[in-house]
Copies of this chain bind each other. A is one copy, B any other.
Amino acid sequence: MSRKITIKDVAKHAGVGIGTVSRAINGNPNISTSTKEKILESIKILGYTPNNVAQSMRSQRYKNIAFFADISNPIFAQIAKESQIELDKHGYTLSLCNIGEKDIGNKISSFLEGRKSDGIILSIPKEDDFELNRSLANIKVPIVTINRDVPILPAGVVTDYYFSVNEAIDYLLSLGHRNIALIGGDKKIRPTREGISAYKDAFLSNGVKLNNNYIKNGKLSSESGEALFNELLPDIQKGELTAILCLNNQMFYGVLRGMRKAKLKYPDDISLITFEDSELMELLDPPLTVIHRPIDEMGKSIVNTLINYIDNPETYGKLEPVVIPTNFIIRESCKPVSIKK
């Protein structure tokens, strides 16, 4: 295998200095058009490609982003994919890092100490983890969070939970539902906070009295979803509770499982709406009415926000969150309430 072509080879071939070659590669303006062309020609002839490791070493820029999330949740896998596609356009690569529930801060710090990334895309389970926030505060590269407001961090990219939930509840109310359960994660995370607020506002603006007991909070897991469903079960069986809106797809699986075990069917026994669409949501029988978010747009926004922070560090922390709108897709998991007491 022949020796790797370096910048020196290019310089010699083009009859210029290495600094000039570097300027040609990096779009530096201090170079005449003619020499630049000559160098680009030599590069093509020799088949030269810059060694990124050497570039990073010297320039302290790495053209790499680290993606920290629990990618066993398919939604994050999709976001990772879309982010990677967008990053690729900007010449960045994406390092995938899985995180669990614990010790996230240390994992990120130790990753950054060794490996070099210019920025981080981060999805964390909680917003108010004191330890975590302290570690995050010490990280010196920009971080863009997904659907979380972390006090110590600048605004990230968020789904429009408020609008989505408002719209969905409006829809259920218009179908005649009066008791609607909201199942979500911890009250302290943005999606739940926004969701609850939209839920309440929807009842208020429709002049319907709401029952706070139907706001259920738990962990973002199917087990927790199933447990919360079971708390609601008696009221469903009594016919008092007629609809459920679930803010998280993992929890929704738990709701489905709970229904299965209780031998309940939607939409006859209860109307169902969940957050997050997927091919299977349409293939469930009956197909599910869902709140759909455009994952590709999320990926693009995340990447562009992050790259903006990298290129313009002075804007870091000064921007408003990017809010991604959703689509409400009505299928067949909700039906009108016929009789009202």
Contact = CB atoms under 8 A, between A and B. Distances in A.
A49 B114 contact: yes
Instruction: State the copy count for this chain.
Output: 2
A62 B95 CA distance: 13
Interface in A56-114: 56-57, 62, 67, 71-72, 74, 77-78, 80-81, 84-85, 88, 93-98, 110-111, 113-114
Interface string A256-279: 110010000000000000000001
Contacts of A80: 71, 77, 96
Interface of A: 1, 49-54, 56-57, 62, 67, 71-72, 74, 77-78, 80-81, 84-85, 88, 93-98, 110-111, 113-116, 140, 222, 253, 256-257, 260, 279-280, 282-285
A53 B96 contact: no
A87 to B, nearest CB: 10
Contacts of A110: 49
B57 A84 contact: no
Contact of A98 (B81, B140, B253): B81
Secondary structure of the A contact surface, majority rule: helix
B96 A67 contact: yes
A280 B219 CA distance: 19
Nearest to A97: B84
26 contacts: A1-B140, A49-B113, A49-B114, A51-B116, A52-B114, A53-B56, A53-B57, A53-B62, A54-B57, A57-B57, A71-B81, A72-B77, A74-B77, A77-B77, A77-B80, A81-B96, A84-B96, A84-B97, A85-B98, A93-B95, A95-B95, A222-B279, A253-B279, A253-B283, A257-B282, A280-B280
